[in-house]
Chains A and B, each alone.
Chain A
Amino acid sequence: METENQVILVKRTNPRADPERSEYLFEELRELTRTAGYVPVGELTQTKFPDSKYQLGRGKIEELAELVRTTRAEKVIFYNKLSTIQLFNISEICGCQVIDKFQLILEIFAKRATTRRSKLQVELARLRYEIPRARAIVSILKKEEKAGFMGLGDYEDAYEQGLKKRITRIESELESAEKDDESLRTFRHRKGFSLVCLAGYTNAGKSTLFNSIVDESVEAQNMLFTTLVPTTRALELGGRKALLTDTVGFIEELPHWLVDAFKSTLDEIFLSDLILLVVDVSEKPEIILQKLSTAHDTLWDRIQGVPMITVLNKTDLLEASELEAVMEEIGYMAPNPVFVSAKEKAGMQELKAEIIKHLPAWSFYSFSLPNSEKGMSMLSWLYDEGIVHSVEYGERISVDYEARTEVINRIQSLEQNLDE
C-alpha cells in the first residue's frame, strides 16, 4: 500500500467556540494540506482547553497513535500551534513526524519558492521559527547527558549560534534587495507610473483577475498560495500608465514572524498608490466578513491614506438578487465595491473606470515651447511623463498637457530656461 504523503489532520477547539467557524478553519487546513501535496487519510478533533504536554488529552493522543498505526500515515498535521515539548511528546507516542499549521505553510512556501530571493525569505522564516526551539531541543537532549561524558559539548552553543549567524546573513542580503526594490519603485513613480496592487485572502482569484486585466497568463490555480513572488505588468488606463502587481495572499492567524519574513512582498502593497482588495463573493457572508477582517487587520496600520477598491470577484457563481443580499451584509467592510467575474472577464470596464477615479490626481497645464531642437526634445520627454492632449506647431509649439504635479512643476521651471 502506498503510504507516501499520507497524513492525519488534528484540531483542538476551545469549548464554547462557534462550531461553524471551527469547521471552516478545519476546511482551510484540509485545503492547505492538499496544496502541500499531502493526502489526508484521517481526521481527529477534540474540544477542550489546551494541554501543556500534548495539546490534546492524553487519551486522544493515544487514539491518534492508533489511527497513525492503522492508516500507516507518515505525518500528523495539527491546526493548533505546538510547543517544542508538545511536538516531542506527540511524536514519541505516535512514532511519526508531527508538524503544525505554521510549518505546513512554510513547507508550501518552500515548495513554491522559485527565485533566490523567495528561497531566502522562506529560509529566514524557517530559521526564525527554529530559534526558540533550538534551545528547547538542546535542553531535551541534555536530559540524556551524564556528568563528564556523553554530553553535547560545543554543539550545545554552536547549534543556536549557527542559526543566528545564518539569520543575520540572510537579513543583510534581503535588506540590499529591499533597497533595490525601493529605488525601482521611485524610478517607476518618476517615470509617471501609478502603482496599483492586488491584495486579498489566499485563493480569492487575484491571479485570475490579474490575467484578465492585463491579458497575460500568470499561473492561476484553484489552490492556496499559488503566487509567492509579486508579478508586475504595465497597464494603460485612459491614457495613464499604471503598473499592476499581483501579490501573495493573506491567511488568518498568519504568525507575525512569517509576515515579517515576507515583508518585501507585502511592501509592494503598502507602498502602492491604490489597493485592489479582491474578495471571493461566492462564499457565505460570514466567511467573507472574516476574510475581509483578516485583510483589513493586515493592512490597516500601514496603508495611511491609500485608497482601496473592494473587487468582489466570482460573481458568475451568484444571481443578482443573491449579490444584493451579500452586499447588504458586507457593505460596511467593503470600501468602493466593484463586481467582477475575472474568469468570464465581466465587469472589467467598470473596474478600470473605478481605478482611474482613484488614481492620484493629475493636473492640466497649457503652455508653449520654442519650435527649436530643445523644444522638440522636451516634447518627446513630455510624451514619456504624462498625457499630451493636443499639440499645435506654429512659431511656437502649443501643448495641452496632463501629468503629476511634480512633472508640471518641472515643466514650469524648464520653460523659463528654454526661453532664455
Chain B
Amino acid sequence: MWDIIAVDISGRHRIKGGYYMVCAAAALTVSADHIEKVKQVKILPFWLKKAPGLLDVVQLIEDTANQLSFEGTIVAEKGDMYNQPRWVPESMFSGAFKYQESLAERRAIELAHHISLSARNLLIKELDIEA
C-alpha cells in the first residue's frame, strides 16, 4: 500500500476577465490496481488575470495539498504540468512528486478530476462568475 495525494486542476482556459481554476487534492491509500482508501479531499479555487505558468500551477497544487492532514507523494497528470519531463516539476515541489503510472494512480487522478470539475461548475454557477 502506498500513500499518495492525487491532484487535478480544472479551468485552465480563459473565461471573461481571466482564468478561474479549481484544484482538487485527494489523500488516498492505493495498491497497484485499486484505490484502497479515500482519507480526505480538499479543493481550492484560484483566480488569475494572466495565463497560468508552471510555477503558478505548482504553487496552487502545493497550497491545496497543504490543507490536507495527510502526507504522500503528489501524483499529477503530465498535461497539468505542460507535458514537462518529470524532473522539471519535481524540482519545484517541496515534497515527493511523480506522474501517474499504475492503474490505481490513473484511477486516483480520474477521481480528482471529477471532484475539481464539479466543484468548479458548482462555484461558477453559484457565484454567477461568467454572467
Contact = CB atoms under 8 A, between A and B. Distances in A.
Main secondary structure of the interface of A (DSSP, over half): mixed
Q: How many of chain A's residues touch chain B, expressed as a range?
A: 20 to 34
A95 interface: no
A289 B85 CA distance: 16
B113 interface: no
Most buried by A among B2, B31, B33, B85: B33
A332 B2 contact: yes
B123 interface: no
Contacts, number: 38
Given A289-B101, A333-B32, A300 B2 contact: no
A335 B2 contact: no
B40 interface: no
A332 B106 contact: no
Interface string B1-29: 01000000000000000000000000000
Given A16-B85, A300-B106, A300-B107, A293 B32 contact: no
Main secondary structure of the interface of B (DSSP, over half): loop
B102 A332 contact: yes
Q: How many of chain B's residues touch chain A, expressed as a range?
A: 10 to 19
Contact of A308 (B2, B85, B103, B106): B103
A79 B60 CA distance: 38
Interface in A303-322: 307-308, 310
A247 B74 CA distance: 35
A323 interface: no
Given A289-B101, A296-B101, A296-B102, A335 B32 contact: yes
B32 A332 contact: yes
What are the 3 closest A-B residue pairs judged by CB atoms, nearest first?
Answer: A335-B33, A335-B32, A300-B106
Interface of B: 2, 31-34, 85, 101-103, 106-107
Interface of A: 16-18, 289, 292-293, 296-297, 299-301, 307-308, 310, 331-336
Given A301-B106, A333-B101, 20 more contacts: A17-B85, A18-B85, A292-B101, A292-B102, A293-B101, A296-B101, A296-B103, A296-B106, A299-B103, A300-B107, A308-B33, A332-B2, A332-B32, A332-B102, A333-B32, A333-B102, A335-B31, A335-B32, A335-B33, A336-B33
